[in-house]
Amino acid sequence: MGVNDTMRRRDRRLLLIGLVGTLMLGATGIAAVGLRDKAAFFYAPADVAERKPEAGTAARLGGLVAAGTVVRSEGGKIDFVVTDGAADVRVSYRGVLPDLFREGQGVVAEGRFAEDGTFAASTILARHDENYMPKEVADSLKRTGQWKEAPAPTGQDASYGVSIGTASMPAMAGNGR
């Protein structure tokens, strides 16, 4: 069981360094490509108006759901307008909205810009918490002067009633408790 039996220490070290080097280079390369191609930029409606992203660009769009713009149609399709006060972007989505999706509240949509300048969302990001506002949305609202510190709870109640529409919920919510 001498040195001849195993590899010489220096050779082994060289092999290890070679392996680590190749792996690191490969992973860095893939990660760089991945970050260049797959990282989606975050757009506020004002950014969209300014930069006019190409159709097909993957992105996240964040802002407030403009009041009175939510339209539901056949097949679970939902259209609404995201605004930051400076500009508006139409968003179309198919599916079940997250629980805390409300008119007048912050929203982040993930998807692609379409040919006609609207945004086709594949995912509407939910919040788990009433008091939470995505950082990017808060930042862009602050830029456009739409930011209000700690929105009043009564306002939230009102928008809740609006977004659920004519559902049985608000009626139930008012049944005495």
Residues that bind another protein (CB under 8 A): 3, 5-7, 9, 12, 15-16, 19-20, 23-24, 27, 30-31, 33-35, 37-42, 47, 58, 60, 72-77, 94-100, 108, 110, 123, 125-132, 134-136, 139, 153, 156-157, 160, 163-169, 172-173, 175, 177
User: Residue 74 class from Cβ within 10 Å (0-12 exposed, 13-18 middle, 19+ buried)?
Assistant: exposed
Beta-strand pair 88-94/119-125: parallel
Which residue, among 37, 163, 150, 154, has the nearest Cα to 107 in the 3D structure? 163
66 vs 108 by CB, closer to another protein? 108
60 vs 119 by CB, closer to another protein? 60
Give 113's contacts (C-beta < 8 A, 6+ positions apart). Answer: 48, 53, 54, 55, 56, 57, 59, 119, 120
Which 3 state secondary structure label does DSSP give 61? strand
- Give me the least distance between CB of 168 and another protein, in Å please: 6
- Give me the least distance between CB of 167 and another protein, in Å please: 5
50 vs 145 by CB, closer to another protein? 50
- Give me the least distance between CB of 41 and another protein, in Å please: 5
58 vs 118 by CB, closer to another protein? 58
DSSP type of residue 96 = P
